[in-house]
Structure formats: C-alpha cells, structure tokens
C-alpha cells in the first residue's frame, strides 16, 4: 500500500510516496523550498506543487513543525505566526484535493523510527530528538506516542533549548562538532533530570553525520543515531495517514 508522505520544514518541503508495509520510498524524493514568508496559503500552494509532481490522487500524510490537534496548528516556532489557529488539514485538503492527515513533524519522525528504525521493538521511555532549524521531540512509552511534546522549547537559562543546541545554531556560530555536542549534552542532561528516558534517538539531517559528534555526547541513557535519516518525517507521516484508509473503508 502506498501513501504520499510530505515533510514540511522551516527551509524545505520534502515528499515521496511510501510503501507503508516496508517503510521504503517508492520514488525519488522531491523537494521544494519553503516559501518566505511561510504563510498558510503560500505553504499550501507549495505543497500542492509537490503533490502535482507525483500526479497524486490518494491519501496524504503531512508533517508540520507545530503542535497539531485535530488538524489545527496551535504554535508556529519556525514558520509564519499566521499558522496559529489555522486548520492546516482543511487547508491542505482544499489545495491538493486529496484526503490529508496533518501531524507534528517530530511525532512523525518518531513513528517511523519506532516502526522501522532505531526504536523498533524497544520498550521503556524512548525520546526521538530531531536537530535542524529547531529541535523536535517525540516521546514513546512502551511504543505508545505522547503527542506534541515540543521539548525544544524548554527554557535553558534565558533561551529556548533550540536556541542553544539546534543544528542551525552550530552553523550560525561556526561551532565545531565537539563544541556543539557539549551543548547537546547539556540539553540531554536536562531531559534526563525531568524524564529519566531509557533511549535517545538522534535524528534530523545531522543523524547522517553522527560519526562526527556522537562520541562526544554523554548521557545515562543509551544514545543512538536515527536509521531513517532525513526520510523519517516522510515515512512517519505516511504511516500516520494509514488511518485515513481505515476511515474511508467504514
């Protein structure tokens, strides 16, 4: 069974059809630049462009970097503030003319890793952390998702954690991998103090370069790189959207 997965980020919108039984992309990933300003209408138009690329007519799973409840965005940390209160699901359904399920981006990445990647068959408390423009987070307890954790916005000192340890900060401040890893380690220590997790999965684009910084990360919990790399959001969105097919069959 194929479902189109779309991953909306602060800088790019990536998508591909996904075989939800294996987690494999069935076509080459397509990317469009996230429009600036990233208003709902502009992003919706860009998503429709990506859908048109695949001539897609079926169900779509779509991530978004915000708290999402029943299709509505309740935050907008790295996108235009006009998203707050917007029913993104209805907007994207109208733009694409396809059934759409909208989900928090880190939650989607976590679903992919727990199903096919580094978290498969792992019990206990598992944290999926995605490092990119910001820091996304997903919490799983014995495989069950606690949605919309948004722990990148925990305050560390006078700033949000993602203002100190996101991958974007490493680039902006020209930090070495070791120096950036020290910042991430402080963030992991804070999460351990609050939640005592058993496993940290490090995802986002930097997961492909885990060998450059992974040995510098320290925590009581096990730390592993994500296995699905930058495709995790696409795959997780498609997996979450399986419920659209179940609902349509009733």
Q: Tell me, yes or no, whether 112 lies in a domain.
A: no
pLDDT tens sequence for the chain (250 residues): 999 999 998 889 999 999 999 999 999 999 999 999 999 999 999 999 999 999 999 999 999 999 999 999 999 978 999 999 999 999 999 999 999 999 999 999 999 999 999 999 999 999 999 998 889 999 999 999 999 999 999 999 999 999 999 999 999 999 999 999 999 999 999 999 999 999 999 999 899 999 999 999 999 999 999 999 889 999 999 999 998 776 554 4
| 3-state DSSP helix/strand/coil % of the chain, to nearest 5 | 40, 25, 35
CA distance 157 to 143: 32
Residues 128, 39 within the same domain: no
User: Is residue 203 classed exposed, middle or buried when 0-12, 13-18 and 19+ CB atoms within 10 A define those classes?
Assistant: buried
Q: What is the reported pLDDT for 219? A: 98
Which of 214, 15, 1, 2 has the alpha carbon at shortest distance from 108? 15
Query: What's the predicted TM-score (pTM) here?
Result: 0.94
Q: Tell me, yes or no, whether 114 lies in a domain.
A: no
Handedness of CA 229, 137, 198, 140 (dihedral sign): negative
Residues 154, 100 within the same domain: no
CATH code at position 207? 3.30.420.40
Half-sphere exposure of 104 (CA within 13 A, CB side): 27
Residues 219, 241 within the same domain: no
Residues 195, 210 within the same domain: yes
| Cβ-contact 4, 61 below 8 angstroms | yes
CA distance 209 to 212: 6
H helical segments located in 84-222: 88-96, 105-116, 162-165, 167-172, 177-195, 210-213
Residues 94, 187 within the same domain: no
The number of folded domains in the chain is: 2
Domain of residue 131, residue span: 122-227
Q: Tell me, yes or no, whether 116 lies in a domain.
A: no
Residues 80, 172 within the same domain: no
CA distance 61 to 239: 7
Residues 85, 176 within the same domain: no
């Amino acid at each position: 069974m194929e479902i189109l997965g779309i991953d909306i980020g602060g800088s790019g919108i990536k998508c591909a059809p996904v075989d939800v039984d294996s987690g494999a992309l069935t076509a080459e990933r397509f990317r469009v630049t996230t429009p600036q300003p990233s208003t709902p209408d502009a992003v919706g138009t860009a998503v429709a462009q990506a859908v048109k690329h695949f001539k897609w007519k079926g169900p779509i799973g779509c991530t978004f970097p915000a708290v999402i409840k029943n299709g509505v965005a309740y935050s907008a940390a790295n996108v235009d503030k006009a998203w707050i209160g917007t029913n993104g699901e209805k907007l994207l359904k109208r733009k694409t003319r396809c059934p759409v399920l909208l989900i928090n981006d880190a939650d989607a990445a976590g679903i992919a890793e727990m199903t096919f990647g580094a978290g498969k068959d792992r019990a206990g408390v598992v944290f999926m952390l995605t490092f990119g423009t910001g820091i996304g987070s997903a919490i799983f307890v014995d495989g069950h998702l606690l949605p919309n954790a948004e722990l990148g916005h925990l305050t560390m000192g006078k700033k949000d954690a993602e203002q100190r340890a996101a991958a974007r900060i490493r680039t902006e401040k020209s930090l070495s991998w070791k120096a950036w890893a020290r910042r991430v380690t402080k963030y992991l220590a804070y999460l351990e103090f609050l939640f005592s997790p058993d496993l940290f999965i490090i995802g986002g684009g930097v997961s492909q370069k885990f060998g450059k910084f992974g040995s510098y990360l320290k925590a009581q919990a096990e730390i592993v790189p994500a296995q699905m790399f930058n495709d995790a959001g696409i795959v997780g969105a498609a997996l979450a959207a399986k419920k659209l097919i179940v609902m349509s069959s009733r």
